Every structure is written in C-alpha cells, then in structure tokens.
C-alpha cells in the first residue's frame, strides 16, 4: 500500500506549486494530497502517513483537523541555481530589495543567495510585515530595483526594475526528512536527492556530502551523527576515532584535523572523561561531572554491530544545560498540545470590594512560587483562579496540568499522578506511562477536589511536596521534579483532619498560601455584569433581560454560585427571544419566599420611572453620586447643581425616598448620610450595561 503525504499551505498558489514539486520528485511512489487554509475550511479527520506544513504558523490552525498520531514536517524552501546566475551580471554595489512573504523568510532566502556567491549586490529584505515608510526610505536611498522568488504582486510600488528568480523549491533537507520518516530511504531515492540537490542552493553545505556518502550503505549513519545537536564521537575497539561531529569539537575546543584517525587516548580531553568513555561500562544517559572542566554532562555509550560483529562504539555527550533546554522545549510543546491554562485575571469579573480584594491577593500569590490551597463553595471559580495564578506566575510558559482527584479510583489516581513502569499491572501499557507530575515539570499541577484523595495516595503526595521527587508505580528510580502545586476543595480540610480522613501534615504542606473564593450571594452586585459577560461569551450580546427578571435573579440564593448562574443564563439565552422575561426561567428555578413583596415595590418604582424619564435620569445621577461612598442629601443637591442640574432639595428627598422604598439606598441620620445598597449597585450597573448595549 502506498504511503500518503498531506500538504497544507496558507494560499492556493503555494499549494499548487509545492504539490507539483513533490510529484515531480516522488513520481508515483507515494500519494500526495493538498489543502490550503486561506478562504476555505479544512475538513476534519485528515488522514495520512505524514503532514507537510508550509509554515510553522499553521500548527495551531490544523491541529484539530488531524489525527494526533500523524507526524508533522515543516517545509523549508530553497532557490534554483540556474535562476540565480543572472544576478552575477548586475553591476558592483547595486542596491536591490529582496521581496518575500515576510522579512524573516526574505533574510533566509538572502542567506542562500549569499552562499551561492552573489557578492555584487547590496540587498535589503522586504516582506508583507515591513513598514511602508521604511520601504519608501530605502527606495529614496537608491533601492529602486527588486528581486523576488515568484512573488511579484508583493513588490512595492515605485520600484523601477523587478527580477523574478522563479518560485522557491522545496529544500532537499525536507525531502530527505520525508523519505526517512516514511521509511522509503533507498539507493534510487538517494540518487534522486543527489541530482536534485545539484540544481538548488541549500543552507547546509554538508548536504551534498551527506547524499554522496549515504550512497554507501556502510556510511549512512555519518550524516545523522553530524546533524545531531549533541556532541558525538565514534571509535573502533582499539580506540581510534573514526568520526566526530562539530558539536563534539566545539564542546572540548578541538580541531577536526587533530581528532579524526587519532587514538582517543592521545587527544586533549579531560582524563576523567576519557577514562569514563574508554571503560567497559555501557552508559544510558548517565550524569557525569568532569572535575577538570567543572561541568556536568549526560553521556550515552552504545555498540555498533554489523552482523553481530562489533564494528565501533559511539558516544553521545550533552552538556547539562543543553539537555535541560531540550527538555524545556519538549514541555513547551506539551503545553501547546493541551496542557495550558486559558483563563487570566482579566476573565474574572470583579466589581465588588470582596472579589477585588480576592483578585489582588491571588495576584500576590501568583508571584510567590509556593503551594496554594484554594477553598470555597462549588461553582465559585476555584479553577479559574488556579489558571489565572499560573498565567501570572513565572511558570506561565510551562504546562498547566489538571486532575480531578474525585473522578478516579485510588489505583488509577496513583498511576495517573505518578506514572508507572512497563508491566506494573494487568492492562498497563507495554512501554509504561509518564505521570502528570512529570508532565507538569517546570509548570503547575492543579489538584481539584483534593479532599477526596485516598489516605495512601496522600502519603505519596506528601513526599512529593517535601522532597520534590516521585517514583513511578512499579519503578525503582527516584525522579526529581520541579512542579508548583495548586490544590482546591469545597470541603473543610481541617475538619477532615480531626476525623482522621485527611493527613494533618499534608494539610499544612498544602495550606502555605491559602485563598478563599467568594460565594455569589456575597457579591450579588456583580450579577448584571456576569450576565452580560455570559451573553457575550455565548455569542448573544443582543439579548437583554427585563427589569423584573433581573430583580428576581439578584434576589435568588444561588446555592450553585456562578456555575448555577451561568447554567440559568445559558438556558434562557438558548430558548428565549432577544428580550428575556420571567417566563423563560428554567423549570427548576425556585423563587425566594420574600421575593413577591420586593418585586412589587421594585415594579412600582420602575413603573414610575418609565412614565417620568426626567425623574429616572435624576435617580440614576443620584445613585452615581453614591458609588463607593456615603453622602448627605444636601451634598447630593450641591453636587448635582455644580454639574448643571437645576433641582430642589425637596425633589431630591422625594426621589431618595422612592429609592429607599425599593431597597436601592439606605438612609441614616448624621454624617452617615445616604448609602447605596447591594441591590442599588446592581440596579445601577444593569442600567449602565443596557445603556452601553443600546
């Protein structure tokens, strides 16, 4: 069965060009299919043996459309040597713009032009992202000609001369990667690659040597070694060095002429390192400290055999800093694959004093790299706070891993948290399984419903918090980790400790930075703003609530907190018209017993406001005066008059009395004056939101 490549480009023209390029190279050896994203939607469930993307920017766009097991290769471009030859004829010190998709890709193409030997032209890279003022300035300076790889529509206006050097081809490095990943590498394809590479420029000068050398089966592995990021040295059983890469030379300040064909014993390597490499010990990513250099390395030593005969030893050496950097890159990719926090503090609606203080406390906690325990009722946004803390912390670029401790059995919870070695139990994966603590290394793990965690798992969790290390189920090795733990619960952990259902020492380890979320009943003034945010998130900002419905929602007890409010709004938004009234409330919605009287007072007040627009306007102005402070009636009159309102103290007093009857303000004697109530604040914010939404 033929292997299949799926090419995905940004634009149709690019897709057509690269499809032709691939088909000309591979002939009928493989099936090739193409898609582009500009102006069309990719189908879901794209299948193939390999995905070829023309740009790194396409990763997030196509990820959801692909089978997650499909390998992805990023296409690199190069130029045709024959098309570049005409540039040698340009006069010395000619000034030209080089026009490509972006400045970055233009500079990359220019490096190929320079390697090809074009030295007579002073180039300036231009892309879609280059500011027009910058381009015009360069044209004024004499850059009135341009060259471009098939992208003449992108050439700026005002350029007198345009040289099209032909569409950029796929680099042979990309073709080589495809053949290797599809397990198609054979002598015929080696010859095609060699002939193809002779016609193009390439950013790797060793690519021609690579293709030639791979024609000999015995030497195929040489190029792989030279392409590795780690330092690599190969030697025979006498110690004579047969091959080493540039990284190895750089690592120990050696020259190639001083190394190849020399005996490993005779080159200028630290004595302790030579003894380690030449010993009979076989190494598998072992940490070794070289005292002479005061550096640590990760070393792997393997045998290379041909037909069971020992041919060579190969040693791979990585500086600990490079090893950690590579691990960090892997973890960043893991974050991109779903282990990330999507909420920030900006997503948390905060109008009341209580929630504002809670947010400020959480922001301070985010800057401290210590364990956090978030407590609060169900539905108060504990996970939203956890994600916001992660995104505000120094670990924001690393994974955010979530697990619900109540959702799994004790044995499954343990294996999910700590991982397991191959064959640890019946049904386990043959290759073992990495746990969530390892996955979250350098990032944050969020343990939701921590109060449900079994006692035996609590013991292991305590060790993680104390020693910063884990051991997989069925494993013997201790694995160090660097993870910030954020735990959350709606239970009273201290009470669970008294009942011997939760370890007291674990409780104190978790409760380093406590944070308590606020129930909705204590922040009802935010209900209008929350409803507006929910409607916007549901894509229904045009929908509005009647005053009667809003008052009912404000007076509701909300035992399920924000989650219950969201479910209620979602139900009404999906089933109701643009104007939502009390008839659209969910069937199981229970009104408070004392709500009828309050509703009647509110309706009387609001009904009056409908008939007296001027009185309603003044009422809103009075409530605005009372925001965040108490004020006396006389001061209110003075403030309104200073702002151009012609109003008597009698009228202000009458309106304040109506506001008081409806529960919007409270009046006190003396300096306490008039105070805006929670309901009044909510009423004011509702009017403000309705005004903004028209």
| Tens digit of each residue's pLDDT (9 = 90 or more) over 641-667 | 888 887 878 788 888 888 887 777 888
Closest CA to 473 of 413, 420, 409, 431: 420
- Write phi, then psi, for 222 (nearest 5 degrees): -60, -45
- Give the CATH number, domain containing residue 307: 3.30.450.20
What pTM does this model have? 0.47
Same domain, 401 and 448: yes
CATH number at residue 18: 3.40.50.10330
Angle at the Cα of 368 from the Cα atoms of 362 and 369, rounded to 5 degrees? 120
**Boundaries of domain holding 59:** 4-75
Q: Which residues pair with 51 in a beta bridge?
A: 6, 72
pLDDT of residue 611: 33
Record the tokens describing residue 601, joined without a space.
């007072």
3-state helix, strand, coil in the chain (%, to 5): 45, 20, 35
Residue 168 per-residue DSSP state = P
Q: Is 326's pLDDT higher than 80?
A: no
Cβ pair 297, 281 in contact under 8 A? no
Q: How many folded domains does the chain comprise? A: 6
pLDDT: which is higher, 297 or 615: 297
The answer, yes or no, to whether residue 146 has pLDDT greater than 90, is: yes
Q: Are residues 99 and 127 in the same domain?
A: yes
Beta strands, E only, 10-149: 31-36, 50-53, 71-74, 77-78, 94-99, 121-126, 145-148
Q: Which two tokens stand for residue 606?
A: 């609001």
Alpha-carbon gap, residue 148 to 111, rounded angstroms:
14
* Nearest CA among 492, 566, 498 for reference residue 526: 566
**Does one domain contain both 353 and 450?**
yes
Taking Cα atoms as reference points, which of 297, 334, 30 lies closest to residue 178?
30
CA distance 684 to 669: 24
Percentage of the residues of the chain whose pLDDT score is greater than 70: 86
Identify the pLDDT of residue 533. 87
SS3 string, 462-525, reads HHHHHHCEECCECCCCCEECCCEEEEEECCCHHHHHHCCCCCHHHHHHHCCEEEECCCHHHCHH
The answer as to whether 605 is a domain residue is yes
Please indicate, yes or no, whether residues 449 and 370 belong to a single structural domain of this protein.
yes
> Where among 182, 202, 222 does a domain terminate?
222
Three-state SS for 584?
A: helix
* Closest alpha carbon to 290 in 282, 281, 301, 299: 299
Residue of 310 and 693 predicted with greater confidence: 310
CA distance 426 to 446: 28
Quote the CA–CA distance of 623 and 413 in Å, as a whole number. 53
**In this structure, are 356 and 492 located in the same domain?**
yes
CA distances from 316 to 229, 238, 288 (A): 10, 18, 12
Per-residue pLDDT, 361:
95
Residue 573: per-residue pLDDT: 92
Domain final position from 24, 46, 75: 75
- 579 part of a folded domain: no
% of the chain beyond a pLDDT of 90: 28
Cα(674)–Cα(665) distance, integer angstroms:
7
What is the rounded distance in angstroms from the CA atom of residue 84 to the CA atom of residue 436? 53
Q: Are residues 360 and 313 in the same domain?
A: no
């Amino acid at each position: 069965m033929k292997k299949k490549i799926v090419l995905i480009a940004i634009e149709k023209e690019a897709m057509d060009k690269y499809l032709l390029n691939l088909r000309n190279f591979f002939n009928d050896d493989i099936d090739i299919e193409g898609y582009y994203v500009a102006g069309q939607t990719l189908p879901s469930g794209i299948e193939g043996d390999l995905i070829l993307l023309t740009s790194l920017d396409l990763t997030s766009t196509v990820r959801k459309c692909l089978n997650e097991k499909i390998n992805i290769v990023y296409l690199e471009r190069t130029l045709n040597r024959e098309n570049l030859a005409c540039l040698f004829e340009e006069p010395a010190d000619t000034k030209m713009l080089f026009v490509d998709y972006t400045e970055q890709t233009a500079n990359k193409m220019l490096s190929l032009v320079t390697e090809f030997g074009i030295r007579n032209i002073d180039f300036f890279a231009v892309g879609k992202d280059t500011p027009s003022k910058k381009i015009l300035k360069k044209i004024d300076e004499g850059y009135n000609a341009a060259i471009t790889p098939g992208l003449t529509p992108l050439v700026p206006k005002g350029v007198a001369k345009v040289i099209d050097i032909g569409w950029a081809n796929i680099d042979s490095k990309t073709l080589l990667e495809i053949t290797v990943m599809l397990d198609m590498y054979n002598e015929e394809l080696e010859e095609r690659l060699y002939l193809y590479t002779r016609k193009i420029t390439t950013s790797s000068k060793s690519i021609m040597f690579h293709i030639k050398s791979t024609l000999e089966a015995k030497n195929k592995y040489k190029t792989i070694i030279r392409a590795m990021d780690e330092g690599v040295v190969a030697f025979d059983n006498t110690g004579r060095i047969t091959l080493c890469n540039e990284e190895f030379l750089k690592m120990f300040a050696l020259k190639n002429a001083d190394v190849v064909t020399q005996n490993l014993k005779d080159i200028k390597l630290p004595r302790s390192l030579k003894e380690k490499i030449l010993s009979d010990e076989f190494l598998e990513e072992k940490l070794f400290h070289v005292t002479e250099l005061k550096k640590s390395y990760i070393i792997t030593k393997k045998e290379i055999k041909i037909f069971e005969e020992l041919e060579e030893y190969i040693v791979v050496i990585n500086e600990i800093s490079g090893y950690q950097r590579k691990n960090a890159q892997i973890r960043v990719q893991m974050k991109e694959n779903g282990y990330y926090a999507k909420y920030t503090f900006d997503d948390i609606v905060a109008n009341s004093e209580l929630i504002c203080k809670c947010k400020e406390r959480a922001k301070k906690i985010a800057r401290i790299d210590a364990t956090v325990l978030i407590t609060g009722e169900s539905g108060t946004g504990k996970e939203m706070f956890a994600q916001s803390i992660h995104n505000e912390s120094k670990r924001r670029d690393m994974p955010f891993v979530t697990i619900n401790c109540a959702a799994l059995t004790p044995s499954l919870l343990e294996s999910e948290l700590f991982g397991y070695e191959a064959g640890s139990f019946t049904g386990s994966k043959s290759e073992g399984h990495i746990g969530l603590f390892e996955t979250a290394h350098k990032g944050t793990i969020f343990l939701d419903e921590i109060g449900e965690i079994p006692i035996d798992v609590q013991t292991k969790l305590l060790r993680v918090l104390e020693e910063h290390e884990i051991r997989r189920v069925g494993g013997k090795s201790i694995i160090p980790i660097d993870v910030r733990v954020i735990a959350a619960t709606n239970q009273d952990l201290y009470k669970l400790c008294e009942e011997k259902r939760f370890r007291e020492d674990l409780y104190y380890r978790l409760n380093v930075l406590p944070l308590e979320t606020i129930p909705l009943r204590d922040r009802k003034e935010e209900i209008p703003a929350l409803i507006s945010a929910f409607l916007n998130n549901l894509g229904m900002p045009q929908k509005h609530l009647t005053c009667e419905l809003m008052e009912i929602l404000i007076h509701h007890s909300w035992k399920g907190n924000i989650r219950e409010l969201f479910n209620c709004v979602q139900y009404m938004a999906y089933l109701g018209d643009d104007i939502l009234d009390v008839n659209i409330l969910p069937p199981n919605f229970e009104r408070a017993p004392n709500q009828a009287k309050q509703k009647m007072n509110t309706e009387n007040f609001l009904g009056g406001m409908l008939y007296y627009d001027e009185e309603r306007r003044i009422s809103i102005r009075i409530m605005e005066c009372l925001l965040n402070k108490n004020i006396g009636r006389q001061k209110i009159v003075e403030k309104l008059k200073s702002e151009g309102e012609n109003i008597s103290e009698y009228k202000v007093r009458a309106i304040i009395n109506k506001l008081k009857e409806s529960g919007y303000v409270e009046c006190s004697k003396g300096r306490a004056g008039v105070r805006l109530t929670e309901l009044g604040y909510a009423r004011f914010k509702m009017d403000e939101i309705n005004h903004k939404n028209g």
